[in-house]
Amino acid sequence: MSIDYEKELNDKQLEAVRATEGPVLILAGAGSGKTRAITYRTAYLIEEKGIAPWNIMALTFTNKAAREMKERISQMTENSSSKVWVSTFHSAALRILYAHAEDLGYSPDFEVADQPDQKAVIKDVCKKLQIDTKEYKEKTLLNAISRAKDELLTPELFEEENYGNIRKRVYVDVYNAYQEQLKKNNTMDFDDLIMNVVKLFRDYPEILEHYQDRFQYIMVDEYQDTNTAQFELIRLLAKKRRNLCVVGDDDQSIYRFRGANIRNILDFEDIYKDAKVIRLEQNYRSTSNILQAANQVISNNRGRKAKELWTNNEEGKKIRFRQLDSASGEAAFVADDIRERVRRSEASYKDFAILVRTNVQSKEFEDAFRVRGIDYDLVKGLRFWDTKVIKDVTALMLTAASGENDLRTQRIINIPKRGAGPAAVEKLSAYAAFHGMSLLDACGHAKEAGLSGKAAIAIQEFYEEKMRVRSLSDGIPLGQFLDLVLQESGYMDYLNAEAETPEEFTEKLSYIEKLKNSLVEYEEEAEAPDILDFMRMNGIEGSSMDQDSAPDNPDKVLIMTMHNAKGLEFPFVYMVGMEEGLFPGYASINTGDEEDIEEERRLCYVAITRAMRELTLTCARVRMINGESRFASASRFIRELPLGMLDMNITPQKTERGVEIKPVRRGFTGTKLKLGREIRIVVPDYEVGDRVRHFKFGEGTVKELVKGEKDYEVTVDFDRLGVRKLFAGFAKLKKI
């Protein structure tokens, strides 16, 4: 087929396509059509330059990206894509190793260890070496081995690098034993694939030359995400002919925690002195205002190559910024905003994406959507109430509070482990059924149920622990009740022992902290706080609002982390939790390493450039942390935006019933923004008999309105939860 390159490509894309000889660096900004440039470049090599398809290699990071690239090339080159070597790094390495395994001492039918296999090997190694896996977590050891392989450190080189480091001696011994056991079983792990191809090429120049002659033109996508081993593999393959084209964007390098080395793209011109650099800066995705915001933020990074996105798209709306009173208020604003836009037929729910820094932030948004009946999906993550840690803790609390739900008792009867196996639970269940009692009550009759020895003692202690918690919990705040349950059950020690890395333990703690915050907020609002009422309100205990049982609906709001949003685009994007300490996080701030902040800023840039039509940034003035309300300042990434770029909705307003909002701005310095608190004088705009909506409790009818010294006390009969007494200023009820 004939391709009109000049008609179908812009000037810079065309330049990239025609730059076929020697080293080429294509700096492809977000939404600039880099995949288009790569596929057209492949077609150009075949159709215009007469290069045989089998002499072209294109490497990328995901099977999905490789498939899409193949399909596009196939459509343009009359099915030549089957002869072009388009694959992921690891797939390419595997094909080479299958052909040359014997040169490395493996048989041709070697196997590749998956994660369960790796865990089994490391577990066996730790057992043989008598390593305390409470001190040296198995996952931490595997991560250390993986990072070593990313850096092309064999066990011998790893030992040299850590010579004299007593603590690292354990890692050295484990790495050696781990590799020995893999080799003994004729097995490589995922990280071995690239490292072993590099070893093959270094040890056998004739094999390397064979592949250098085979792959005369090499292209690499997402080059900013390559690690040291991948860099060396590419360097060796391209060394003879030097026809290497790498495509990437240093501003979108956000995977340092996975081993990505941003220096690979930043230093490309130092490594290849004659490299041709082409910048794809025209964006086809976003409005001009969104791109200006992205450019403004990323310009604060020092470790980057200069580039600036631009577009022929419309200017679009300003970047909306809203600072809400609390995390739940932030979620309510977003949920109401989305619902109103859909009601006005401006968009469908599937057009909206909420980007969070960490999955634990999703809890408030899940609550807000559930109350409003808005369908949503949490992309690549479990919903807050479905995570194991929250299911465990709520089961511990409910069992201590009532013990009537046998399924919950059964869930935590052996958490932490106490030797109550399936046979013991079966005996207890049979005893409970025969005597018409709950499983928890049957635990108080362990010996009568037929248990003996350690199992009987352990189950009796389990029962007494729950009774003790119940007796001590009378009248104490729910946050303290949670602390009591965790302390008496030993769950925190269990959680620490089960976590494979310190980071995993910290993440699980954040979920428990979020649960405690939710309990404290609920108790501040409820007239008669009760743990069972809290669970029912959140859809945990007997709720009819279980979304998992509802028919699947493709028209859903998506909630996802900013990392998971890379490569995607949405008409409407909400970047939430834009606060110092959350984004950027305290971990990045406290290291004192500017590169940590720059990585966070690159993540902010990636998130901003997901938006096509409108971008909204939100944060909370007060966020609940470990049961305490703490003030939060707006993220530095917001303060890096010029004021004229933001729609802050700061015009004073008065409602017809007298609600007055006087925004206060103070501390302006140039384009930097410091936000003060709003002064609110609240007079309810609803009366007895009016229908109102609460951001968490849903809709209801006002039954009573009484003026107090500082606020109005309002009684509402909520459709789903019944009668509640609330303070009007805190409840922020909306008349409907």
In 208-336, beta strands by DSSP E = 217-220, 244-248, 276-280, 319-324
Residue 427: φ, ψ to 5°:
-65, -45
Give every CB contact of residue 552 below 8 A, 6+ residues apart in sequence.
Answer: none
Q: What are phi and psi of 612, to 5 degrees?
A: -100, -50
Q: If you ran DSSP here, which 8-state letter would residue 483 be given?
A: H
Catalytic residue flag (residue 34): yes
Give the DSSP letter string of 544-564: S--GGGSPP-S--EEEEETTT
Question: Do residues 159 and 153 touch, judged by C-beta distance below 8 A?
Answer: no
Pairing verdict, β 653-654 and 276-280 = unpaired
User: Which of 107, 126, 106, 133 shows the shortest CA–CA distance to 177?
Assistant: 126
Buried b (16+ CB within 10 A) or exposed e, 267-285: ebeeebeebbebbbbbbeb
* Calpha distance 80→3 (Å, rounded): 15
Task: Using CB atoms within 10 Å of the CB of residue 410, give its burial: 0 to 12 exposed, 13 to 18 middle, 19+ buried.
Answer: middle
> Are 122 and 174 contacting, i.e. CB atoms less than 8 angstroms apart?
yes
Which residue in this structure is represented by tokens 């001492």? Answer: 105
Q: What single-letter DSSP state applies at residue 272?
A: S
Residue 631 has φ and ψ, to the nearest 5°, of: -75, 145
The verdict on whether 13 is a catalytic residue reads: no
Catalytic residue chosen out of the listed positions 47, 192, 221, 580: 221
Would residue 156 show up in a list of annotated catalytic residues for this protein? Answer: no
What's the rounded Cα separation, in Å, for the pair 603 and 253?
Answer: 8
Q: CB–CB of 363/384 below 8 Å?
A: yes
Q: Is 493 a catalytic residue?
A: no
Q: Which of 212, 252, 409, 547 is catalytic?
A: 252
- 8 Å CB contact between 597 and 487: no
Distance CA 511, CA 22 (A): 52
Residue 35 falls in the annotated catalytic set: yes
**Is 441 marked active-site?**
no
Q: Which of 202, 137, 149, 203 is nearest to 175 (CA)?
A: 149
Given the residues 15, 18, 20, 35, the one annotated as active site: 35
Half-sphere exposure of residue 169: CA atoms within 13 angstroms, side-chain side: 6
Classify residue 367 as exposed, middle or buried by CB count within 10 Å of its CB (0-12, 13-18, 19+): buried
Q: Is the peptide bond before 584 cis (omega within 30 degrees of 0)?
A: yes
CA–CA separation, 388 and 377 (whole Å): 18
Catalytic residue (one of 137, 556, 601, 610): 610
Upper half-sphere CA count for residue 726 (Cβ side, 13 Å) = 26
The residue from 47, 192, 222, 614 that is catalytic is 222
Q: Return the ∠ at Cα 189 (arms to 185 and 194), rounded to 5°.
A: 125
* Those residues with Cβ within 8 angstroms of residue 480's Cβ, 6 or more apart along the chain or in another chain: none
Tell me the longest C-alpha to C-alpha distance in the chain.
89
Q: How many Cα atoms occupy the beta-carbon half-sphere of 297 within 13 Å?
A: 28
| b/e 657-675 (16+ beta carbons within 10 angstroms → b) | eeeebebeeeeeeeeebeb
Angstrom distances, CA of residue 670 to CA of 293, 585, 605, 674: 16, 25, 22, 11
Q: Which residues are catalytic?
A: 34-35, 221-222, 252, 610
